[in-house]
Structure 1
Amino acid sequence: MSYADKIFVDMCRNILDNGTDTKGEKVRPKWDDGSFAYTIKKFGVVNRYDLKKEFPAITLRKTGFKNCLDELLWIWQKKSNNVHDLNSHIWDAWADETGSIGKAYGYQLGIKHHYKEGDMDQVDRVLYDLKHNPYSRRIMTNIYNHEDLHEMNLYPCAYSMTFNVTKNEETGNLVLNGILNQRSQDVLTANNWNVCQYAALIHMFAQVNDMEVGEFIHVIADAHIYDKHVPLIEELITREQHPAPKLWINPEIKNFYDFTVDDLKLEDYVTGPQIKNIPVAV
């Protein structure tokens, strides 16, 4: 069965059984009817996935992999902050009349910085170091730029990615590992979405640098389940679990900027039914 399912179920059970309820406290998010959106939260959740063994898509319900990739490439490849460059509408609630979400996410990754090797943005800096300095302990991105927070329509949730290279002593190949740091996460709507995105990113970066994939570690400071999501989660984590899907990645792609949403696919992806009309707090 999918190890990602086990991680997800255990995490949700831990939040529900041992988390802190924010009901009655001062919170920012609200539901569509104007009522406050309270959560049950757990501090410091750390989940570890071995990408060599399986691709970590849960099978309890289907994760929309193509839209996951579309959003990931919107941020990391297009370095865009405009929803008109997206094929889904998940960011529409945070966009202004022009489609902009402000100086957030892709905007931050696209800012060029000055290094001794030349001017480059954060994504290109990662790609440069993976090629030229794979054992560097400084291969990371950070889009939580305090100087620009007042011009972001939503503060970054998944804000920092750290890459670290090890070696497979059996094959002699370099191995790419990654840690995603996230300040806050709506577990029902976003957990496996983010896991699939950044697992895919590690696969893409590994392929274009002739590396194997290793571990993906997901660190969440505030992992929470919204009050209206509790019965949905309770039902979801009792569902039948299936074997993990297999990731197909186009072996012809050698440049990260050449990847499209059609160059990665999940094969043999058997899942439970989708949960429709999930309320989203804004």
Structure 2
Amino acid sequence: MSRHPETQYLDLMTHLITHGDRRIDRTGVGTLATFGAMMRFDLSDGTFPVYTTKRVYWKTAVKEMLWFLTGQTNIRSLLAANVRIWSDWPLARYRKETGDDISQAAFEERVLGNESFANEWGDLGPVYGKQWRRWTDNDGVEHDQIATIIETLRTNPSSRRMIFHAWNVGELADMALHPCHMVYQFYVSCLGSGAPTLSLMVTQRSSDHLLGNPFNICQQAALLAMVAQQVDLTPGELIWSGGDVHLYLNHVEQAKEQLEREPRPFPKLTFARKPASIDDYRIEDFIVEGYDPHPPIEAPVAV
């Protein structure tokens, strides 16, 4: 009997608890960390790797991926979609620079209701979407890395250059958060024999194992499924490679609780339609069936 693919995630969590390197990190919270990890998930039968040992709010994760694909960098459109996972960083900046100890709910309400306030305080700088869709070179020319990937998949699927990334050294200082999932590389297998499949390897420099990784795996699988549909290929493998993989010290008890649970079958993903382009997907297009997770586990976000 084959091991449940989620076991890879749980084994890595166990390793962090038992052998993790205790470190003081940027946030001051502290972590148990390891350097270098890999997980592989087979999507070829429609499997959607949404972890089951705690509930993962997959719609929120996919909405964030759709937001990346728009190229936007302001949290206002995210909040309009009821996604609040990026609010902590602009809120912390607002409190620090103004001295106003505003609540998160009040801050978000002002961003939603006041466009000028949102423009001043809700922008995250040139984060993921800006780099993916509007990377600016030294001559001021913008490059749409996602469009280039899709065109290459259609015209030269054996290319070893189907890569996009977000680590733009010249703009890092202006980002609210440096890119964690940095490099995406696509690979088409079985060219010339059998039914070709599209795989994706993601290199992530920094991974919050309890809170961040479940979202990342889900949304990266969603991206692979979208791109595969656009270029008429079957999804193959999602391969995740982590650099500094860590468990925050105030997440250890929650991690131990999660490790007591047995994984359940992953759900399946299909699409309600084939959108005209990668820019036209909506959350309503994602049909996820058979997701029966254990209850959620709450934990604080380190900022």
Partner residue, 2:154:
131
Structure 1 CA distance, aligned partners of 2:150 and 2:142? 13
Structure 2 CA distance, aligned partners of 1:136 and 1:169? 14
SS at match of 1:188: coil
Task: Indicate whether 1:200 and 2:222 are aligned.
Answer: yes
2:50 maps to which of 35, 40, 57: 57
Task: Indicate whether 1:68 and 2:89 are aligned.
Answer: no
Residue 177 of structure 1 and its aligned partner are, at CA, apart by 0.6
Structure 1 CA distance, aligned partners of 2:260 and 2:267? 20
Structure 1 CA distance, aligned partners of 2:38 and 2:66? 25
Structure 2 CA distance, aligned partners of 1:64 and 1:190? 12
SS at match of 1:247: strand
Structure 2 CA distance, aligned partners of 1:39 and 1:161? 26
TM-score normalised per structure 2: 0.83
Structure 1 CA distance, aligned partners of 2:235 and 2:274? 17
Q: Compare the two structures and name the one with the higher helix fraction.
A: 2
| Count, aligned residues | 267
The answer on whether the counterparts of 2:230 and 2:274 sit within 8 Å (CA) in structure 1 is no
The answer on whether the counterparts of 2:229 and 2:274 sit within 8 Å (CA) in structure 1 is no
Partner residue, 2:26:
28
Structure 1 CA distance, aligned partners of 2:148 and 2:270? 27
Report the aligned-residue RMSD: 2.0
Partner residue, 1:244:
266
Q: Specify whether residues 142 and 267 from structure 1 end up closer, same or farther in structure 2 by C-alpha distance, changes over 3 A only.
A: same
CA deviation digits over 1:134-163, x for unaligned, max 9? 111000111100100111111111111011
Structure 1 CA distance, aligned partners of 2:6 and 2:234? 24
Task: Indicate whether 1:279 and 2:300 are aligned.
Answer: yes
Instruction: Mark the runs of 5 or more structure 2 residues left unpaired by the alignment.
Output: 94-119
Partner residue, 1:93:
88
The answer on whether the counterparts of 2:73 and 2:130 sit within 8 Å (CA) in structure 1 is yes
CA deviation digits over 1:166-186, x for unaligned, max 9? 12777x332111111111011
Structure 1 CA distance, aligned partners of 2:235 and 2:242? 22
Partner residue, 1:37:
29
Partner residue, 2:291:
269
Structure 2 CA distance, aligned partners of 1:252 and 1:132? 20
Residue 15 of structure 1 and its aligned partner are, at CA, apart by 1.5
Q: Specify whether residues 113 and 226 from structure 1 end up closer, same or farther in structure 2 by C-alpha distance, changes over 3 A only.
A: closer
After superposition, where does 1:9-24 map in structure 2 within 5 Å?
9-22=10-23
The answer on whether the counterparts of 1:207 and 1:254 sit within 8 Å (CA) in structure 2 is no
Structure 1 CA distance, aligned partners of 2:220 and 2:301? 22
Residue 113 of structure 1 and its aligned partner are, at CA, apart by 6.1
Task: Indicate whether 1:151 and 2:151 are aligned.
Answer: no
CA deviation digits over 1:170-209, x for unaligned, max 9? 7x33211111111101111111110010111111100111
Structure 2 CA distance, aligned partners of 1:107 and 1:163? 20
Q: Specify whether residues 166 and 38 from structure 1 end up closer, same or farther in structure 2 by C-alpha distance, changes over 3 A only.
A: same
Q: Specify whether residues 90 and 169 from structure 1 end up closer, same or farther in structure 2 by C-alpha distance, changes over 3 A only.
A: same
SS at match of 2:40: strand
Counterpart residue type for residue 26 of structure 2: R
Counterpart residue type for residue 101 of structure 1: L
Instruction: Mark the runs of 5 or more structure 1 residues left unpaired by the alignment.
Output: 30-35
CA deviation digits over 1:86-119, x for unaligned, max 9? 12111012226431001111111122568xxx97
Task: Indicate whether 1:111 and 2:103 are aligned.
Answer: no
Q: Specify whether residues 2 and 91 from structure 1 end up closer, same or farther in structure 2 by C-alpha distance, changes over 3 A only.
A: farther
The answer on whether the counterparts of 1:2 and 1:59 sit within 8 Å (CA) in structure 2 is no
Structure 1 moving runs of 4+ over 6 Å: none
Residue 21 of structure 1 and its aligned partner are, at CA, apart by 1.0
